[in-house]
Amino acid sequence: MLANQRPDPEQPLASAPTLCRLENRVTRARLARLAGVLVEQFIASYAQPPAELILDVDATDDPVHGTQEARFFHGYYDHYCFLPLYVFCGSRLLVAYRRPSHIDARLHTRPILKLLVRRLRQTWPKVRIILRGDSGFCRWKLLRWCEQNHVCYVLGLARNQVLERLAEPCMAAAKTQFEATSQKVRNFHEVTYAAGTWDHARRVIVKAEHLPEGPHARFVVTNLPRLGPTRVYDELYVARGDMENRSKEQQLALFADRTSCHAFLAHQFRVLLSAAAYVLVETLRRTALADTELAPAQAGTIRLKLFKVAARVETSVRRVVLHLSSTYPLAELFARMLARLRAPYVLPPAPS
């Protein structure tokens, strides 16, 4: 009904075999057009031009159980899988791209970001873009591209002997402080570092931590000059962990992990269908469910409490009536959600 399609027994929805044939007929050109819709929906979700966008990029495993095309064994995850790439901005999804798993996690990240940043700046020329990710995406060519295109970055940096040597004074100070207080110590410093393959040295944030279990150091590379090391790590880098919850929503609650097809393009099509479902659920959560008890709910909870609800449907010439159970506990919320969808709910302006 939301798609302006009246329930009609004479015109039922597509069957599973019909959907299967559709999945196996898809072409790369159509997949590219579908992927572009995600970005256009993201742009359309803003009533006013944003001042800043933080793009979270991450890869995750998608296990396979068969002889599907492009399936490979991944040593880190210890099973056969695909390695999809996701890009989120807060809770909003921009990119869902399934890849084989015999590759580096950052593969194709730079060309995807080129297209993405170009499109975003076509609409918002003055927007500040920050790229955030773990150490799997810290490659000097990506760092150089960000610097040349005025994109800020906050990326994890894998430890090595040179970094540990640079962090020795910080770790020694943390150890001394821990021995004096017997309390957890967590300090932040910054150093200048360049790997052997890098084109020049860059700013690296050092988290020097000493716990009862022992010392622990983490490293983050960034080109944000005006933020202190504590703010870079605690306010920016640590917040990227929420993206993993968003990708799990799509993979688990909205079935992006279904890999029963043989053709690899069919699997990419399934990921995009799941991504479209996520965009619909996230939009519903952000608009029609704003200021309600389900505003912070995950996609699986919304499916269970609002979508998978038994009802008797009556269709007449003028209207469609849903008869819900008298014991349905969220009937009032359900009615309020539908009212907001019929007359779009206007959100208050976002904080600056």
| Side chain identity, residue 32 | A
Q: Which fold has domain 16-156+223-281?
A: Nucleotidyltransferase; domain 5 (3.30.420)
Query: What is the model's pLDDT at position 41?
Result: 94
Q: Are strands 185-193 and 72-74 parallel, antiparallel or unpaired?
A: unpaired
**How far, in Å, CA of 228 to CA of 232, rounded?**
6
In tens, the pLDDT along 140-176 reads: 999 999 999 999 999 999 999 999 999 999 999 999 9
Q: What is the mean pLDDT of residues 119-128?
A: 95
Q: Please check the confidence at residue 275 and state whether its pLDDT lies above 50.
A: yes
Confidence of residue 347 (pLDDT cuts 50, 70, 90): low
| Side chain identity, residue 57 | V
**How far, in Å, CA of 76 to CA of 66, rounded?**
19
Is 120 within 8 Å of 42 (Cβ atoms)? no
Query: What is the model's pLDDT at position 129?
Result: 96
In tens, the pLDDT along 185-210 reads: 999 999 999 998 898 999 999 999 99
In tens, the pLDDT along 38-82 reads: 999 999 999 899 999 999 999 999 999 889 999 999 988 899 999
Query: What is the model's pLDDT at position 5?
Result: 73
Q: Please check the confidence at residue 8 and state whether its pLDDT lies above 90.
A: no
Residue 68 buriedness (CB in 10 A; 0-12 / 13-18 / 19+): middle
Q: Are strands 79-82 and 72-74 parallel, antiparallel or unpaired?
A: antiparallel
Q: Please check the confidence at residue 93 and state whether its pLDDT lies above 80.
A: yes
Query: What is the model's pLDDT at position 349?
Result: 54
Q: Please check the confidence at residue 350 and state whether its pLDDT lies above 60.
A: no
Query: What is the model's pLDDT at position 292?
Result: 92
Is 237 within 8 Å of 220 (Cβ atoms)? yes
**How far, in Å, CA of 308 to CA of 325, rounded?**
13
**How far, in Å, CA of 152 to CA of 103, rounded?**
25
Q: What is the mean pLDDT of residues 254-268?
A: 90
**How far, in Å, CA of 172 to CA of 191, rounded?**
15
Segments making up each domain of the chain, as ranges: 16-156+223-281, 287-352
**How far, in Å, CA of 91 to CA of 313, rounded?**
33
- Contacts of 120-127 spanning 24+ positions with Cβ under 8 A: 120/39, 120/43, 120/53, 123/43, 123/49, 124/49, 124/50, 126/49, 126/51, 127/49, 127/50, 127/51, 127/52, 127/53
Query: What is the model's pLDDT at position 352?
Result: 46
Mean per-residue pLDDT of the chain: 90
Query: What is the model's pLDDT at position 196?
Result: 86
Query: What is the model's pLDDT at position 303?
Result: 92
Q: What is the mean pLDDT of residues 73-101?
A: 93
Residue with more model confidence, 60 or 5: 60
**How far, in Å, CA of 326 to CA of 99, rounded?**
47
Instruction: For helices 28-44 and 109-123, give the axis angle rounded to 10 degrees.
Output: 40
